[in-house]
Amino acid sequence: MFRALALRHCQLARSLATHAAPPTRSTSQATIRHDWKKEEIQAIYDTPLLELVFRSASVHRENNDPSKVQLCTLMNIKTGGCSEDCSYCSQSSRYATPTKASKLVDIEPVLEAARKAKENGSTRFCMGAAWRDLAGRKRGFEKILEMVSEVRGMGMEVCTTLGMLSPEQARRLKEAGLTAYNHNLDTSREFYPKVITTRSYDDRLDTITAVRDAGISVCSGGILGLGESHEDRVGLIHEVANMPEHPESFPVNALVPIPGTPLEGNDPVSVHILIRTIATARIAMPKTIIRLAAGRNTLNETEQAMCFMAGANAVFTGEQMLTTPCSPWDEDKAMMGRWGLDGMRSFEQVSVAKKEGARLEAEQSSKSSSPDFLTAPAS
């Protein structure tokens, strides 16, 4: 299987970030369901692993270009000092961890980081702030809106994760040019209270609803290795797969235990569980981008290839996650070249292009009518 994947594309170079028109490739093969029963998803999850990967790989190829991987870069724009008690997070003010609180960064360092990410092939730039919500942060929110607008002006997709949002805050982020908003459910509804007590499961779902209603793409996934059961992983997938719209992206994080947090002693999640979760999510949500997120740097190249085979089609790449290590661009470029994988263009995913349609058309029209465009020599 891997040999066939590696031969699919022989070029070693990967496309840099580009502003893409909506793709013309048909992705109409699958029936998108929002009425999954938990027992159905459990049966998929329990399938023998090789059979499960074969099935998920088939679904992936029917609905997505298996040679394309979305490249995302994440920047922590406000570190530590968070009032939440998420048991896995070193940014909580409740735990004594190496992470120190800092103020919201200035705009220029963010734009510099976004430019560097784009130069290295990333087409989505994500910004995270360690906040419970935006209450009482008017000046900070205005600064973030400017960051979103400026990064969007580079032709990149823009994602933020800022804690809970009100419908009005989501609307303003959309107006500024935000492509996606990350708000993970983390785990199943049943296991969630054992991980977090300061924010309810329904609080998270309310923010996701506000984001979706504002026309922003939803990015929502979970963390493996929290101490959850197989049934809890199924419960997470069941929750997101039955949303009115499947999330545009589903991040799969492997817990990176951080000293000082309540989960510092947890055992690493096995790669088999990671692959099984990715494969199950791919079958339940055929067109959703499934992102290998935190913990990917602990996987060897063959293990990552298995994840791509199972249906993963996005990664975080660059210098750093929020508080954990990230695989660097050069290593990822080399790996993708060996496996015949190319980076997605900005706004290449069909569901994102649909939500961004009017804005993309306006941006293209503005670009076409600019003096520089009209006087540029033909290539």
Determine whether the annotation assigns residue 307 to a binding site. Answer: no
pLDDT at 379: 35
Catalytic residue among 14, 55, 72, 86: 86
Per the domain annotation, does 225 fall within a domain? yes
Determine whether the annotation assigns residue 72 to a binding site. Answer: no
What distance in Å separates the CA atoms of residue 353 and residue 360, rounded to the nearest whole number?
Answer: 8
Q: Is residue 10 among the annotated active site residues?
A: no
Q: What is the DSSP letter of 187?
A: S
Contact 332, 93 (CB under 8 A): no
Per the domain annotation, does 371 fall within a domain? no
Per the domain annotation, does 372 fall within a domain? no
Catalytic residue among 14, 55, 89, 212: 89
Per the domain annotation, does 296 fall within a domain? yes
Catalytic residue among 219, 276, 296, 345: 219
The one-letter amino acid code at 230 reads H
Determine whether the annotation assigns residue 82 to a binding site. Answer: yes
Place of tokens 């594309």: 9
Q: Does the pTM of the predicted model rise above 0.85?
A: yes
Q: Is residue 25 among the annotated active site residues?
A: no
Give me the DSSP letters along 254-314. EP---TTSTTTTPPPPPHHHHHHHHHHHHHHSTTSEEEE-TTGGGS-HHHHHHHHHHT--E
pLDDT at 377: 46
Reading the block at residue 104, the tokens are 């919201």
Per the domain annotation, does 370 fall within a domain? no
Query: Cβ–Cβ contacts within 10 Å for residue 319, how many?
Result: 16
pLDDT at 45: 98
Per the domain annotation, does 58 fall within a domain? yes
CA-CA-CA-CA dihedral for 317, 56, 223, 298, to nearest 10: -50
| Pure H helices in the chain | 2-8, 38-45, 49-63, 107-119, 138-152, 167-176, 201-213, 230-241, 271-284, 301-310, 329-339, 350-355, 357-369, 371-375
Catalytic residue among 82, 137, 204, 307: 82
For residue 250, give the nearest of 92, 56, 87 by alpha carbon.
Answer: 56
Q: Is residue 282 among the annotated active site residues?
A: no
Catalytic residue among 291, 296, 307, 345: 291
What distance in Å separates the CA atoms of residue 318 and residue 347, rounded to the nearest whole number?
Answer: 20
pLDDT at 30: 63
Strand partners, 291: 251, 314
Q: Is residue 86 among the annotated active site residues?
A: yes
Contact 279, 55 (CB under 8 A): yes
Q: Is residue 89 among the annotated active site residues?
A: yes
Per the domain annotation, does 70 fall within a domain? yes
pLDDT at 370: 57
Catalytic residue among 14, 72, 152, 159: 159
Average pLDDT of adjacent 10-residue blocks, the chain of 379 residues: 42 41 42 96 98 98 97 91 88 83 93 95 94 88 97 96 96 97 98 96 97 97 98 98 97 94 95 98 98 92 96 87 67 93 92 85 70 47
Helical (H) or strand (E) element with 343:
strand 342-343
Place of tokens 């049943």: 190
Nearest 5°: the CA angle 226, 231, 237 is 85
Q: What is the CATH number of the domain that holds 184?
A: 3.20.20.70
Catalytic residue among 14, 124, 126, 282: 126
Determine whether the annotation assigns residue 10 to a binding site. Answer: no
Q: Is residue 219 among the annotated active site residues?
A: yes
Q: How many domains does the chain have?
A: 1
Determine whether the annotation assigns residue 159 to a binding site. Answer: yes
pLDDT at 271: 97
Determine whether the annotation assigns residue 219 to a binding site. Answer: yes
Q: Is residue 307 among the annotated active site residues?
A: no
202: domain range?
A: 2-20+30-348
| Four-residue CA torsion sign, 320, 271, 44, 205 | negative
User: Between helices 38-45 and 49-63, what is the axis angle to 10°?
Assistant: 110
Per the domain annotation, does 378 fall within a domain? no
